[in-house]
């Protein structure tokens, strides 16, 4: 279980690095992105391991990457300088 946790955090940090380099102006500071990616992947590994058990060795890193990507996608800001207003505010 320790190696699953360490590998999921490393996968989350790698996913964060890719996100920072592919979306340079649309993410907050790199520290926030790295913490979010690492913790999201760690939570994804925990969730997958709790759901499927320790038998599925390849599913746990896949769940870690999937949940890490979802949490990183919540940080993406819209393009442009104009603030986006909700439909209810207009």
pTM above 0.85, yes or no: no
Dihedral sign from CA coordinates of 55, 56, 57, 60: negative
- What pLDDT was estimated at residue 54? 83
Tens of pLDDT, residues 13-33: 999 999 999 998 899 999 999
Provide the mean pLDDT of the chain: 89
pLDDT band at 77 (very low <50, low <70, confident <90, very high): confident
CB neighbours of residue 11 within 10 Å = 21
- What pLDDT was estimated at residue 10? 96
pLDDT band at 83 (very low <50, low <70, confident <90, very high): low
- Looking at the predicted structure, is the pLDDT value of residue 66 above 90? yes
């Amino acid at each position: 279980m320790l190696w699953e946790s360490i590998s999921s955090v490393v996968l989350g940090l790698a996913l964060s690095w890719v996100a920072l380099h592919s979306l340079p102006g649309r993410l907050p500071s790199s520290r926030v992105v790295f913490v979010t990616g690492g913790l999201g992947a760690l939570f994804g590994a925990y969730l997958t391991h709790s759901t499927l058990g320790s038998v599925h060795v390849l599913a746990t890193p896949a769940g870690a990457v999937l949940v890490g990507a979802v949490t990183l996608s919540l940080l993406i800001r819209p393009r442009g300088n104009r603030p986006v207003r909700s439909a209810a505010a207009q």
